[in-house]
Amino acid sequence: MKQSAPARALNGGPIAEEIRREVAEETARLWQEHQVKPCLAAVLVGDDPASAVYVRNKVRAFAELGLRSEHQALDSSTTTEQLVSLIRTLNARDDVDGILVQLPLPQGIDEATIIEAVDPLKDVDGFHPVNVGLLAMGRPRLVPCTPAGIIELLDRSGIAIEGAKACVIGRSQIVGRPVSQLLLQRDATVTICHSRTVDLAEVTRQADILVAAMGKPGFIKGEHIKPGATVVDVGINRITDVAQARSLFGSETDERIKAIERRGYTLVGDVHPAEADAVAGRRTPVPGGVGPLTVAMLLRNTVGSARRRRGL
Ligand code: GUN
């Protein structure tokens, strides 16, 4: 069943800007009252182009707010031991409030060892088992940025979470699992789907809030969506094929094909934009939906971490 009007875009940009303003005010207060200026250390290992863009955006956002940050770039031959050694140095530095190691790491580096090496009080990604455990216990402290951003996006857009049927597709440590925990914490009725879910569309079609976070370009179609539902698209996939762009983008097709011609790719989420817009009530676009919130929440986590470490 289709609904009459196309889905309204749920844009993250203005909400991220609002959060950035709040963080800027808090940062100014922290400086005036305590002469503290929070600092992030961002670590990028290897030469994954998308990761390089993300880290650059994060570092730039800190500079724009007058926060300190430093960017450590290591080559892809770095060993687990070398990276742990760098993290220990950052853990020990009193001037560093937040440590972020961009994922995925190159093959050969043990991700779990790296995540567990970060001081849980400086773990602004919220990936350390201590922070994951606190979230699972319903006592969130440092919460992963994209999931926290999704909740802010829903709240500040007036989308009710309490009592809603929420369905999360994907069970990653970065998005699927933590956003499920946050939705549960807010009294949604949460279902988690994944690659082995039987009759996926049957399950996802029940959801008032559908979060797609499994990393498959344009996978979620009209048949997966309840008419009028809010669809949060967390996927970021590069599309290089013009025919694929034609099948995905509806009214946006021309500008997307131009983007492919200009720079070799365009971005699409895990949701099929044209099909979803014929059924959903709201949909987060890619880019410009959830993405801007991730960086805003990283700023907020880092300022929070600076306060907490000093008992403020
Ligand atoms: N890779 C994709 N998303 C993230 C994130 O939020 N933090 C880090 N560190 N790596 C990521």
CA 188 to CA 165: how far, in whole Å? 6
- Does one domain contain both 68 and 207? no
For residue 2, pLDDT over 60 is answered with no
Report if residue 307 sits inside a domain.
no
Q: What is the pLDDT of residue 5?
A: 85
Asked whether residue 69 falls in the same domain as residue 160, the answer is no
pTM here is 0.97
Q: Are residues 84 and 190 in the same domain?
A: no
Q: What is the domain-level CATH number for residue 219?
A: 3.40.50.720
> Among 63, 85, 119, where does a domain finish?
119
Q: Ligand 1 pocket: which of 55, 71, 115, 125 to mutate (most atoms <8 Å of CB)?
A: 125
Is there a single domain that holds both residue 186 and residue 287? yes
CA of 103 to the centre of ligand 1 (A): 5
Residue 301 lies in a domain: no
Residues 235-254 have pLDDT tens digits of 999 999 999 999 999 999 99
155 and 278 inside one domain: yes
Res 172: pLDDT: 98
pLDDT tens-digit map of 6-23:
899 999 999 999 999 999
Q: How far is the CA of 90 from the centre of ligand 1 (A)?
A: 18
DSSP string, 193-236: E-TT-TTHHHHHTT-SEEEE-S--TT-B-GGGS-TT-EEEE---
What backbone phi and psi angles, to 5 degrees, belong to 290?
-75, -30
Is the confidence at residue 3, as pLDDT, over 80? no
Is the same domain home to 238 and 155? yes
User: Best substitution site from 174, 177, 236, 293 to test ligand 1's pocket, by max atoms within 8 Å of Cβ?
Assistant: 174
Any ligand 1 atom below 6 A from CB of 145: yes
Sheet harboring 189-193: ordered strands across?
8-9, 282-283, 230-233, 209-212, 165-169, 189-193
Question: Where residue 113 sits, what CATH number does that domain have?
Answer: 3.40.50.10860
Q: Is residue 25 part of a domain?
A: no
Percentage of the chain with pLDDT > 90? Answer: 98
Q: Are residues 173 and 275 in the same domain?
A: yes
Interval 161-187: pLDDT, tens = 999 999 999 999 999 999 999 999 999
Q: Which domain holds residue 211?
A: 144-293
Q: Whose CA is nearest to atom 8 of ligand 1?
A: 102
Long-range CB pairs of 90-93, under 8 A, 24+ apart, other chains included: 90/41, 90/43, 90/122, 91/117, 91/118, 91/119, 91/122, 93/41
**Ligand 1 midpoint to CA 164 (Å):** 27
In a domain, 248, yes or no: yes
Do 103 and 43 share a structural domain?
yes
Q: How far is the CA of 227 from the centre of ligand 1 (A)?
A: 32
**Has residue 134 been placed in a domain?**
no
Is 118 touching ligand 1 by the criterion CB < 6 Å? no
The set of catalytic residues is 58, 102, 125
In a domain, 236, yes or no: yes
| Cβ–ligand 1 contact at 159 (below 6 Å) | no
Is residue 64 located within the same domain as residue 154? no
Is residue 133 in a domain?
no
Based on the domain organization, do 155 and 235 belong to the same domain?
yes
Q: Is the CB of 43 under 6 A from ligand 1?
A: no
Is there an atom of ligand 1 within 6 Å of 305 CB?
Answer: no
Check whether residue 77 and residue 197 sit in a common domain.
no
Ligand 1 atom closest to the Cα of residue 104 is 1
Q: Answer yes or no: is the C-beta of 102 below 6 A from any ligand 1 atom.
A: yes
Give how many domains the chain has, as a whole number: 2
Q: How far apart are the CA of 72 and the centre of ligand 1, in A?
A: 15
Residue 162 located in a structural domain:
yes
Nearest CA to ligand 1 atom 2: 103
148 and 288 co-located in one domain: yes
What is the per-residue pLDDT across 180-201, written as a single tens digit (0 to 9) for each? Answer: 999 999 999 999 999 999 999 9
